Amino acid sequence: MGSLFSAKNKEVFSTPISMNNPVTVQVLGICSALAVTSKLEPAIVMGLSVTIITAFSNVVISLIRKTIPNRIRIIVQLVVVAALVTIVSELLKAFAYDVSVQLSVYVGLIITNCILMGRLEAFAMANGPWESCLDGLGNGLGYAKILVIVAFIRELLGSGTLLGFNILNYDAIKDAGYVNNGLMLMPPMALIIVACLIWYQRAKHPELQDKE
Amino acid sequence: MNTNSNSYTIIYASVLVIIVAFLLAFVNSSLRDLQGKNVELDTKKQILSALGIREVQDAEAEFSKVVKSDMIVAEDGTLQTYEGAFITGYEKEYKENGRAHLFVCEIEGETKYVIPVYGTGLWGAIWGYVALNEDKNTVYGTYFSHASETPGLGAEIATEHFQNEFKDKNVMDGETVGLDVVKNGKVDKPEFQVDGISGGTITSVAVGQMLKGCMGHYTKFLTAKE
């Protein structure tokens, strides 16, 4: 391990947020991106929870990586993730009840989020705890970024609100012929928006495009 | 050390599972009291919301000020005072102990009755509270919540906008509960029925069934003339 903030470590943290984004480039975690993005608030909470849990489970797995028997490594990873998710959900219930009520559905989804398993398997099993922590934070934030963008578009155009505050539901706007687009609230729209984000990113960065 | 041998693998798995089990049991038991208090406070907040008292700072104080008594409706429709600890699971309370709870409240000198309701939505449990005016027939306010309805669609039952639609509707249609939610745009009895949420029809209809089912337990009380 070099210094705590060496160029390599910075890269480990920052590439998942942009050039190697888990959602738009690796196309992982799409299922939850559909489920939680019809409103901005759960998307933000989900993004933060995934970030925290990815970072923690990366650190735990990285610490015990040399002792894990190869044949049951996926099971060990799952147990660690499930235990962490359960602890986080219990803590939320005790100290932030309102948030836990909102999260109820999504906590279970965190356990099955492919980003977590992907990072544990691909990174934490081969790297030290500090790099793994940065990698977890980076990937979690990369995921959160996409969720927030998608939820912003869906809630604004679908319900005319943002974080529950009224933005577009005024008589003057309605009189001008504007209607909220109910399709935005349906799951397919999340896929289409994610696809547009992928399109934009690949068009801007030719190096991401598949070679003919 | 050979980390791939069978015995190592088995011992590793057992130790890991035991550690995790103890950890989770410890976390659960040490936080249970705090969680129970949160659930109780949340239940009180929900009851207050049905009475139109939302966003209160000190829900505990407000609850003891507004809610005068926690009653049980007897079979003949009369009210008996409930003496036990504050209950948060009303479905269990009715099915296992046969007790139908009812909260007698007082707002600006007027008596209001709050009835807990519970049922099943599209994906999971839905529940709520219905506050009635002193005439035991018109709705004063409602509160609904859900465990896992679709955000933006069925989950809209938890919004104030939907809950306010119930205000001033009639409850009893003769001897049966007439209060209902029907598919968006299909209201034919506006004095009883509320417009459902477009795109959230299954959840909306489930709210209607929940109202009919749970408030049906109170028929004797609601139809009794004083």
pLDDT, tens digit, 9 for 90 and up, residues B123-145: 889 999 999 998 888 999 999 99
Mean pLDDT to the nearest integer, A84-95: 87
pLDDT of residue A39: 84
Mean pLDDT to the nearest integer, B202-213: 92
Has residue B24 been placed in a domain? no
- Picking from A64-68, A134-138, B81-85, B130-134, which range would have the lowest pLDDT averaged per residue? B81-85
Mean pLDDT to the nearest integer, B5-30: 93
* β-bridge pairing B100-107 and B67-73: antiparallel
Q: Smallest Cβ distance to A159: which of B16, B150, B152? A: B152
Has residue B194 been placed in a domain? yes
Has residue B83 been placed in a domain? yes
Has residue B104 been placed in a domain? yes
Mean pLDDT to the nearest integer, B203-215: 92
Å between B4 CA and nearest CA of chain A = 5
For residues B169 and B194, is the Cβ–Cβ distance under 8 A?
Answer: yes
Contact A68 B148 (CB under 8 A): no
Buried b (16+ CB within 10 A) or exposed e, B154-177: bbbbbeeebbebbeebebbeeeeb
Has residue B30 been placed in a domain? no
Instruction: Please give the torsion angle defined by the CA atoms of residues A118, A122, A126 and A128, in that order, rounded to the nearest 10 degrees.
Output: -50
Percent of chain B beyond pLDDT 70? 99
The pLDDT-based confidence of A109 (bands split at 50, 70, 90) is confident
pLDDT of residue A105: 66
How distant, in Å, are the alpha carbons of A25, A111, A184, A190 from that of A32?
16, 11, 16, 10
Host domain of residue B180: 68-223
Residues of B with Cβ-Cβ distance to A71 under 8 angstroms: 4, 9
The pLDDT-based confidence of B21 (bands split at 50, 70, 90) is very high
Tokens encoding A163: 């974080």
Q: Which of B215, B191, B212, B220 is nearest to B114 (CA)?
A: B215
Residues of B with Cβ-Cβ distance to A79 under 8 angstroms: 16-17, 20
For residues A23 and A136, is the Cβ–Cβ distance under 8 A?
Answer: no
Domains in chain B: how many in total?
1
For residues B121 and B32, is the Cβ–Cβ distance under 8 A?
Answer: no
Residues of B with Cβ-Cβ distance to A158 under 8 angstroms: 152
Tokens encoding A65: 């990586």
> How many CB pairs below 8 Å do chains A and B form together?
78
pLDDT, tens digit, 9 for 90 and up, residues B89-123: 888 888 887 788 889 998 888 889 999 999 999 98
What angle separates helix A129-159 from helix A187-204, to the nearest 10 degrees? 120
Contact A68 B12 (CB under 8 A): yes
Q: Smallest Cβ distance to B148: which of A69, A90, A104? A: A104
* B12 touching A (Cβ < 8 Å): yes
Q: CA nearest A155 in B: which residue?
A: B152
Contact B38 A83 (CB under 8 A): no
Q: How many residues does chain B have?
A: 226
For residues A120 and A58, is the Cβ–Cβ distance under 8 A?
Answer: yes
Mean pLDDT to the nearest integer, B155-173: 89
Mean pLDDT to the nearest integer, A161-166: 83
The pLDDT-based confidence of A99 (bands split at 50, 70, 90) is confident
Tokens encoding B212: 């009919």
Mean pLDDT to the nearest integer, A177-189: 83
pLDDT of residue B136: 86
Using DSSP's 3-state secondary structure scheme, residue A39 falls into coil
pLDDT of residue A212: 65
Has residue B42 been placed in a domain? no
> Is the pLDDT reported for residue B73 higher than 90?
no
Distance of CA A80 to the CA centre of its chain: 19
Has residue B131 been placed in a domain? yes
Å between A64 CA and nearest CA of chain B = 11
| Average pLDDT for chain B | 87
Mean pLDDT to the nearest integer, A170-195: 84
> Is the pLDDT reported for residue A2 higher than 60?
no
* B152 touching A (Cβ < 8 Å): yes
Which ipTM value was assigned to this complex? 0.72
pLDDT of residue B204: 92
Residues of A with Cβ-Cβ distance to B150 under 8 angstroms: 38
B211 Cβ neighbours under 8 A, 6+ residues apart: B117, B130, B177, B179, B180, B181
pLDDT, tens digit, 9 for 90 and up, residues A19-74: 788 888 888 888 777 777 888 888 888 888 889 999 999 999 999 998 889 888 88
Tokens 């239940």 sit on residue: B43
Higher-confidence residue: A212 or B47? B47
| Average pLDDT for chain A | 85
Chain A residues with CB under 8 Å of a chain B CB are: 36, 38-39, 42, 66-72, 75-76, 79-80, 83, 86-87, 90-91, 93-95, 97, 101, 104-105, 154-155, 158-159, 182, 185-186
> Is the pLDDT reported for residue A159 higher than 70?
yes
Using DSSP's 3-state secondary structure scheme, residue B159 falls into coil
Residues of B with Cβ-Cβ distance to A97 under 8 angstroms: 35, 38-39, 41-42
Has residue B142 been placed in a domain? yes
State the Cα angle at B41 between B35 and B47, rounded to 5°.
Answer: 140
pLDDT of residue B93: 83
Confidence (pTM): 0.72
